[in-house]
Structure 1
Amino acid sequence: MVELVQRLRKAGAGAGLSNEAFHKLSALLTMLILVFVFAFGNDAFFSVNNGLTILLQTSVIGLLGIGLTMVIITGGIDLSVGSVLALSGTVTGLAVKAGVPVVPGMFLGILVGAACGVVNGLIITKMRITPFVATLGMMLMARGLALQLTGAAPISQLGKAFGVLGNGSLFRMVEMQENGFPKVIFPGIPYPAILLIVVAIAAAYLLRRRALGRHIYATGSNEEAARLSGVVVDRTKIMAYAMSGALAGLAGIVLMSRLITAQPNEGVMAELDAIAAAVIGGASLMGGVGTISGTMIGAFIIGILRNGLNMAGVSSFIQQIIIGAVVILAVYVDQLRSKR
């Protein structure tokens, strides 16, 4: 009898693994199809400059998606990441404008994002308000605070050092020509892309190898069972929302650094792209399921889709319709998977 139970457990684990692998494979295949379709329609799609543009766009989506993946695995949702992105970037811009060095100013922005996440977690765990309502309230408050701090005006003239993170690159090769003008031999790997890779590896390690990651999965799979097993569920949720807020803050700093201007209106509807990336990558809105690698594939799908539609001249309004349809389809597939 014990042998039979063990065999059934192994079979179940194997089925779960193949299901997860199949979902990632299907997402990867979707990404390759999009690349083929857009490249077929426009020769410039495979250019180096366009590839770098996709990397830069995906970096912000990916950072937001990683934080949202942790929250979604717990069975929650965070609608405030776009507004927290704007607030963190605005605070960083104000600090740098006031004379604070760039690096400490950026850390301050990340701390502001983490603080917003902690507030979300406390409201959800202590006040017992649903994540949808709690983060919706934070979305409005963070956006309002960003607009109030700046008077709804952008903060400019932040200096070249502020733009290094968003516009710099590693291994950039430039050659001076005879006419005195520089020629770019290799544009380099953008710092935002390197940052995304580092954060993704760290988040994957946290979820798979550390106790907090196991607690996040346990909380989303069965909250009551996790509590009975000794998991401090409230603390786990607060940590997940804090990390989501911190990564939203980091994404805001990267975006503002690219612009070299702090814009309080940035990040509107960014939560839609982040949720889409996580769900397309296999994260279940029911909780307990999701991987960082899947979210990265989902982020690139969204980035490639937006980039290809822009190059095809599709209006931003039609893009919203298409992305919304993709989200609905991804959630429907998730429901079918959960039922099975």
Structure 2
Amino acid sequence: MASLDSAIAHEKRSIDRKAIIQKFAALAGLVLLVIAFSLTSGAFLTMSNVVTIALQTSTIAFIGIGATVTIITAGIDLSLGSVLALAGVVAAMAAQMGVPVPLAFLIGVATGGVCGVFNGLVITRLKLPPFIATLGMMMIARGVALQITGARPVSGLPSSFGTLGNDSLWRVLTETANGFPKIVFPGIPYPVILMAVLAIIMAVVLRKTPFGRHLYSIGSNEEAARLSGVKITKVKIGAYVLSGLMAGVAGIVLMSRLVTGQPNEGVAYELDAIAAAVIGGTSLAGGVGTISGTIIGAFIIGILRNGLNMNGVSSFTQMIIIGLVIIGTVWIDQLRNRR
């Protein structure tokens, strides 16, 4: 047992080194993107655009954190976008029926958690591959969201429903000579603050708790983790519950920004989430990944989209560019794993 623990510790140190190298590589890429786009567009580094980038990136970051947790276990969650939509419309419908908005948001997040429990049970009890299990949930969650709303937006929501998604901390307004309000400082959007808080919490969970260490050990070598006493089933279910909860958070934030419940939102968002995790250094082979790296990956995707938009690049070309970035990143990860 002592030799097994020593082997696991040695493997963990090796994994930590790989994660640090990949994280700094992603950070260097992020800096280069910022420099490149600031040179091609004078409006790129304005305060309003920086806030816009952070706000748009927050949704990718939320579900990216969930994707990171599952990928670390050598799994994957393809249902994130659909769970986002279901959680958001459930929260919107609850608010529409008169439930206090904070409670409606909690119901939405809990809906994401329930979907995560379903994913975890199907994977651990029915022994289905994560790809198939979460693909099934992707269809189920989207279908339920469309069914309960009649495929129509949930509207007529109270104004307070939009506070989380649209208000900011420390926003400074002044009045012009004509009596119209003028934004002096746009403030820090609440979704960005929530993103930072959840990222810190999840980083601590992964690095400082037994649950987090067990996630890495399962992804590195599931059989060795089982022999060392890790409760594989509980940890895996916990990983998918966390992923579902993060999708639920993304859902309520996105629907709050829209002030409507849109059952068609979140299509292909899981691809952005997985891309953010992989670009940030999370290995699809499992056992490697950090929350900070995923946040960097999310900002790389957000800045790429924003900068390309400012330079007049079509959305179709953007998809090609981001796809090539993902392929290149995974290829580099595979080369490193072979070594």
SS at match of 2:267: coil
Take 2:44 and 2:235, find their aligned partners in 1: how far apart are those partners? 43
Moved more, 17-26 or 162-171: 17-26
Amino acid in the other structure paired with 2:227: L
**Does residue 194 of the first structure (1) align with residue 209 of the second (2)?**
no
Residue matched to 1:153: 152
CA distance change for structure 1 residues 13 and 161 in 2, over 3 Å: closer, same or farther?
Answer: closer
Confirm or deny: 8 A CA contact 2:19 2:288 kept in the other structure: no
Take 1:263 and 1:215, find their aligned partners in 2: how far apart are those partners? 37
Residue matched to 2:116: 117
SS at match of 2:182: strand
Q: CA deviation at 1:37?
A: 1.6
Residue matched to 1:283: 282
CA distance change for structure 1 residues 145 and 44 in 2, over 3 Å: closer, same or farther?
Answer: same
**Does residue 303 of the first structure (1) align with residue 335 of the second (2)?**
no
Take 1:9 and 1:89, find their aligned partners in 2: how far apart are those partners? 41
Amino acid in the other structure paired with 1:142: A
Residue matched to 1:230: 229
Q: CA deviation at 1:34?
A: 1.1
Q: CA deviation at 1:196?
A: 0.4
Q: CA deviation at 1:157?
A: 2.4
Residue matched to 1:263: 262
Residue matched to 2:311: 312
Q: TM-score w.r.t. structure 2 length?
A: 0.95
Residue matched to 2:214: 215
Take 2:205 and 2:47, find their aligned partners in 1: how far apart are those partners? 33
Q: CA deviation at 1:62?
A: 0.5
**Does residue 77 of the first structure (1) align with residue 89 of the second (2)?**
no
Residue matched to 1:88: 87
SS at match of 2:174: strand
Residue matched to 2:181: 182
Q: CA deviation at 1:110?
A: 0.4
SS at match of 1:46: coil
Take 1:13 and 1:146, find their aligned partners in 2: how far apart are those partners? 41
Residue matched to 2:35: 36
Q: CA deviation at 1:19?
A: 3.5
Moved more, 130-139 or 325-334: 325-334
Unaligned ranges ≥5, structure 2? 1-5
Amino acid in the other structure paired with 2:68: T
Residue matched to 1:323: 322
Moved more, 39-48 or 314-323: 314-323
Take 1:230 and 1:20, find their aligned partners in 2: how far apart are those partners? 25
CA distance change for structure 1 residues 163 and 174 in 2, over 3 Å: closer, same or farther?
Answer: same
Take 1:221 and 1:13, find their aligned partners in 2: how far apart are those partners? 8
SS at match of 2:44: helix
SS at match of 1:45: coil
SS at match of 2:75: coil
Identity of aligned residues (%): 58
Q: CA deviation at 1:11?
A: 8.9
Residue matched to 1:98: 97
SS at match of 2:288: coil
Take 1:219 and 1:302, find their aligned partners in 2: how far apart are those partners? 29
CA distance change for structure 1 residues 182 and 287 in 2, over 3 Å: closer, same or farther?
Answer: same
Q: CA deviation at 1:155?
A: 1.4
CA distance change for structure 1 residues 174 and 123 in 2, over 3 Å: closer, same or farther?
Answer: same
Take 1:276 and 1:208, find their aligned partners in 2: how far apart are those partners? 22
Confirm or deny: 8 A CA contact 2:19 2:290 kept in the other structure: no
Take 1:245 and 1:17, find their aligned partners in 2: how far apart are those partners? 26
SS at match of 2:154: coil
Q: CA deviation at 1:131?
A: 0.3
Q: CA deviation at 1:18?
A: 4.2
Take 1:205 and 1:195, find their aligned partners in 2: how far apart are those partners? 15
RMSD between aligned residues:
1.7
Q: CA deviation at 1:20?
A: 2.8
SS at match of 2:173: strand
Q: CA deviation at 1:21?
A: 2.5
Q: CA deviation at 1:260?
A: 0.9
SS at match of 1:265: coil
Question: Can you list the C-alpha shifts for 1:29-69, whole angstroms capped at 9, x where unaligned?
Answer: 11111112212211111111111110011100001011110
SS at match of 1:202: helix
CA distance change for structure 1 residues 227 and 14 in 2, over 3 Å: closer, same or farther?
Answer: closer
Take 1:86 and 1:11, find their aligned partners in 2: how far apart are those partners? 42
**Does residue 244 of the first structure (1) align with residue 243 of the second (2)?**
yes
